[in-house]
Structure 1
Amino acid sequence: MNKFSRDLVQGMKEAADFAEGKKAAARVHVVEVPDVRAIRQQLHMSQQRFAETYRIPLPTLKNWEQGRRAPDAPAAAYLQAISRQPKAIKEALQHG
């Protein structure tokens, strides 16, 4: 068995241990999922306006707000930036 195969098997064992609640050497990265609806409402924007202003597809925004989907890590970071600096993000997008 080559190194790649050994590493793959080891990784699968660690993933299985983690899934079973055992301590494992695996790293866990937790991404805070922002409350998209709260961010939008705090800015007093409709879904349509928020989506257009921040260049988020409207169906994606609706899916996030209705809990059918969750923002991935980059989208979550973008939403956090919007919540903290909405005017700066809006201005940056207008000049881009």
Structure 2
Amino acid sequence: MKNSAFNELLQSVEEMDAIVKGKQKPSRENFIAAIEVKQIRQQTKLSQDKFAKLIGVEVSTLRNWEQGRREPTGPAKVLIRAIANDPENVIEACQK
């Protein structure tokens, strides 16, 4: 590994450590809290099975999100936000 790549990686790890210890704020934060995932699903009146199938994830993954052990990322996060903003049309579009 080149020194520059190693130094960037080391700096990133040090920043992460500072963030975890509360000494530094993250440069950006964008997450969906566990309570939000559960509320969004409940607003759709879908079971965990059906909601997980709708958004293309395993039920265990959805449960981990709802219980705060993990948080959605990437396309799943965007899809959940879309469902929260316009559930009727997004769910209809996903079922086609």
- Shorter-chain TM-score bucket reads 0.5 to 0.7
Whole-angstrom distance in 2 between the partners of 1:20 and 1:53: 37
Q: Measure how far apart 1:19 and its partner are.
A: 4.1
2:81 pairs with 1:80: yes
Partner deviation per Cα, 1:65-93 (whole Å, 9 max, x = no partner): 2x153223322322111111222222322
Please tell me the residue identity of whatever aligns with 2:90. I
Contact 1:54–1:90, Cα closer than 8 Å, also in 2? no
Structure-2 residue corresponding to 1:40: 41
Instruction: Provide the secondary structure at the position in 2 that maps to 1:27.
Output: coil
Contact 2:52–2:62, Cα closer than 8 Å, also in 1? yes
Whole-angstrom distance in 1 between the partners of 2:20 and 2:68: 23
Q: Choose between structure 1 and 2 for higher RCO, CA contacts under 8 A separated by at least 6 residues.
A: 2
TM-score of the two chains, using structure 1 as the length reference: 0.63
Contact 2:52–2:58, Cα closer than 8 Å, also in 1? yes
RMSD between aligned residues: 2.9
TM-score of the two chains, using structure 2 as the length reference: 0.63
Contact 1:33–1:71, Cα closer than 8 Å, also in 2? yes
Whole-angstrom distance in 2 between the partners of 1:22 and 1:3: 25
Structure-1 residue corresponding to 2:69: 69
- Structure 2: which 5+ runs fail to align? none
Structure-2 residue corresponding to 1:51: 52
Instruction: Provide the secondary structure at the position in 1 that maps to 2:31.
Output: coil
2:6 pairs with 1:5: yes
Larger Rg: 1
Structure-1 residue corresponding to 2:93: 92
